[in-house]
Amino acid sequence: MDIIRRNDSPQATDEKVTGLPGCGLAGYAFLLMFVCVLGMAGMAGGFIGVLFQEDTKGPLPLQPGTQTAVWALAPLRKAKLIEIDEIPLAYHAEESDASVACALLNDSLVRVDGDKSYTLPYANITEVTAEGVEAVGVTVTAHGTPLEGGIDAITCTFQPMEGGERFDRQLTAEADRNK
């Protein structure tokens, strides 16, 4: 195909162009199609990601009571382990709905497990043991002299990297300080 291109400049000469004179409209159309397909693939990937996301949150890591959500302290308040305006020194929920949790209060270690609640004053704690390491999970157990009708040990279980070793150190320090 022969195309004659005219140039309107004063030194214009007619020149004969053979073949395709650049990609023009076809190149632009392919570029737009590529961007469109890439965008649609991104949207499809995002949609699939939303469909397959986990909607359950894990247990809460060990945290100061001042940073604990009000809803997380509700089972402790319902069990009458803490007052409405009381804030624990440290708090750890073993279940995502906070139905199983341990807390360090000013004078005792408390645990709620569903409808059951346990209290062990720091002054009554004779030994604190920790099994496991932070990378795989820690189980902290406080042994002591039970209150009347109470239990002689409270166990708090921590998933990996939830602060089990720190809880062990805090509990041991509180128990030693109150002896």
Mean residue pLDDT of the chain comes to 85
Residue 111 has pLDDT above 60, yes or no: yes
Q: Which CATH number fits domain 63-177: 3.30.420.40, 2.30.29.30, 3.40.190.170, 1.10.220.10?
A: 2.30.29.30
pLDDT at 51: 85
- The CA distance from 119 to 140, in Å, is 15
- Residue 40 pLDDT > 90, yes or no? yes
In the chain, where the domains are located: 2-51, 63-177
The answer, yes or no, to whether residue 57 has pLDDT greater than 70, is no
Could you read off the pLDDT of 143-172 as tens digits, one per residue?
Answer: 998 777 778 899 999 998 899 999 999 999
C-alpha span between 112 and 118 (Å, rounded): 6
DSSP notation for 126-174: EEEEEEEETTTEEEEEEEEPPPTT--SEEEEEE-TTSSHHHHHHHHHHH
Q: Quick check: pTM over 0.75?
A: no
Look up residue 154 and give its amino acid. Answer: I
Only one residue has tokens 């341990």, namely 102
